């Protein structure tokens, strides 16, 4: 059924929509391919040496995580199906569900780590990069041999999830290229453009409000330990990578010079911040600099709303922004 649909869609004459084609060909497909390749290498490294101190494993973790951040804003299609994006990246986690669930698996030596199919049914909280970060940089107490199998199960799970995404993107891209009344997802090209714009804008919103906003907390109550992936020293790196990837997507959509300049300003602030895990949010000067970075990310969103949204014919979510 799905195959028949795919063949049908591939057979349809592709209507000229160069922006969408460019976003798919230059951004979505290479990004998801790269993620799958790096995740496969990560699983390989974990199988070879699962010790948390393994230099090779840690390097593979960073490379795969980098590749994930570069596509993490593409939270639709195969990434949203089966909640895959969520399974790869369950964060923020204010209840500490990842740590608690990992601790429980370790304490009971839960057997689901033995088979990939069983582990795939575990909570999303223990199946992605943030769970792996825990296992490598702050492992809960447990028996080493079991911890090893758990680390390997998480890494293999990441590889499987990203492989499924890479496998399914071509079919979803075909849907994006041929919207219409018979298309089960996109009824018109406007919906495709909207999906891309929403991905871009929501990714930036996440960076401003969550990646930067959560550690900032409030003036009275800064929360540096809420920074993303601080255990492996990645907090600022996540912001830089995510901004760079969003900039690339904006460029395929021909967002224009003003948008690109806004990206350049934010990236320059991020690259000169010199505070890899936002420890400075507790200090008045350091805090100001993180706030300035946050403002510059919000400025990109503003530039997108005024420059790109009208050109794509996208209006802001009517109900989602309503607040009633």
Partner 1 sequence: MPTRRKILGGLAAALTCSPTWADVGTPAYIAAAREPDGTFALYGIGAEGADRFRIALPGRGHAAAAHPGRPEAVAFARRPGLFALAIDCQTGQVTARLQAPAGRHFYGHGCFSSDGSILYTTENAFESGAGRIGLWSTDEGYRRIGERASGGIGPHDVVRLPGTETLAVANGGIRTHPASGREKLNIETMRPSLAYLDEDGTIADLCEPGPEIHRNSIRHLSVRADGLVACAMQWQGDPFDAPPLLALHKRGSSLRLVGARGPLQTLLRAYAGSVAFSGGGDRVGFTAPRGGRAQVYSVEDGRLLQEVRRPDICGIAPHRNGFLATDGTGGVSAVGAVGLHTLTRANRAWDNHLISIEQK
Under the rule (CB under 8 A), what is the footprint of partner 1? Answer: 80, 83, 86, 90, 92-95, 97, 123-125, 187-188, 190-191, 194-195, 198, 315, 317-320, 322-324
Pick the closer one to partner 1 by CB: 187 or 261. 187
Pick the closer one to partner 1 by CB: 50 or 124. 124
Nearest 5°: the CA angle 55, 59, 61 is 120
Task: Give me the phi and psi of 112, to 5 degrees please.
Answer: -65, -15
CB of 292 to partner 1, least distance (A): 24
Q: Is 100 exposed, middle or buried (0-12, 13-18, 19+ CB in 10 A)?
A: middle
* Cβ count near 5 (within 10 Å): 15
CB of 207 to partner 1, least distance (A): 15
Q: Distance of CA 58 to CAs 23, 151, 227, Å?
A: 31, 12, 20
Contact 230, 92 (CB under 8 A): no
CB of 299 to partner 1, least distance (A): 23
CB of 18 to partner 1, least distance (A): 23
* Measured torsion, CA atoms of residues 42, 47, 49, 51, in degrees rounded to the nearest 10: 80
Nearest 5°: the CA angle 83, 134, 86 is 10
Pick the closer one to partner 1 by CB: 93 or 291. 93
Best CA proximity match to 89, nearest among 55, 116, 64:
64
Pick the closer one to partner 1 by CB: 23 or 195. 195
Best CA proximity match to 126, nearest among 117, 135, 115, 138:
135
CB of 141 to partner 1, least distance (A): 23
Best CA proximity match to 281, nearest among 268, 294, 296:
294
Pick the closer one to partner 1 by CB: 135 or 199. 199
Half-sphere exposure of 195 (CA within 13 A, CB side): 26
Pick the closer one to partner 1 by CB: 82 or 109. 82
Instruction: Tell me the residue length of the chain.
Output: 324
Pick the closer one to partner 1 by CB: 56 or 223. 223
Task: Give me the phi and psi of 291, to 5 degrees please.
Answer: -65, -40
Roughly how many angstroms between the first and final C-alpha of the chain, as a whole number? 41
Pick the closer one to partner 1 by CB: 34 or 194. 194
């Amino acid at each position: 059924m799905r195959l028949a649909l795919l063949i049908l869609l591939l057979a349809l004459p592709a209507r000229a929509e160069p922006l969408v084609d460019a976003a798919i060909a230059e951004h979505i497909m290479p990004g998801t391919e790269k993620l799958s390749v790096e995740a496969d290498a990560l699983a390989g490294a974990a199988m070879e040496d699962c010790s948390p101190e393994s230099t090779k494993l840690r390097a593979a973790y960073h490379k795969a995580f980098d590749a994930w951040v570069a596509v993490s804003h593409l939270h639709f299609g195969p990434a949203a199906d089966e909640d895959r994006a969520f399974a790869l990246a369950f964060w923020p986690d204010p209840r500490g569900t990842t740590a608690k669930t990992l601790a429980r698996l370790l304490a009971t030596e839960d057997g689901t780590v033995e088979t990939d199919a069983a582990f795939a049914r575990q909570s999303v909280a223990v199946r992605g990069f943030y769970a792996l970060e825990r296992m490598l940089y702050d492992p809960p107490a447990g028996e080493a041999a079991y911890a090893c199998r758990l680390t390997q199960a998480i890494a293999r799970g990441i590889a499987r999830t990203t492989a499924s995404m890479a496998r399914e993107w071509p079919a979803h891209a075909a849907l994006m290229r041929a919207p219409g009344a018979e298309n089960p997802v996109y009824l018109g090209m406007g919906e495709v453009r909207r999906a891309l714009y929403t991905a871009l804008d929501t990714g930036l919103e996440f960076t401003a409000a969550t990646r930067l906003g959560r550690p900032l907390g409030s003036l009275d109550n800064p929360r540096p330990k809420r920074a993303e992936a601080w255990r492996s020293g990645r907090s600022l790196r996540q912001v830089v990578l995510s901004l760079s990837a969003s900039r690339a997507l904006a460029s395929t959509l021909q967002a224009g010079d003003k948008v690109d300049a806004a990206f350049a300003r934010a990236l320059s602030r991020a690259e000169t911040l010199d505070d890899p895990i936002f420890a400075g949010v507790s200090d008045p000067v350091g805090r100001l600099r993180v706030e300035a970075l946050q403002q510059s990310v919000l400025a990109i969103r503003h530039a997108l709303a005024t420059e790109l949204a009208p050109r794509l014919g996208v209006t802001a979510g009517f109900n989602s922004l309503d607040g009633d």
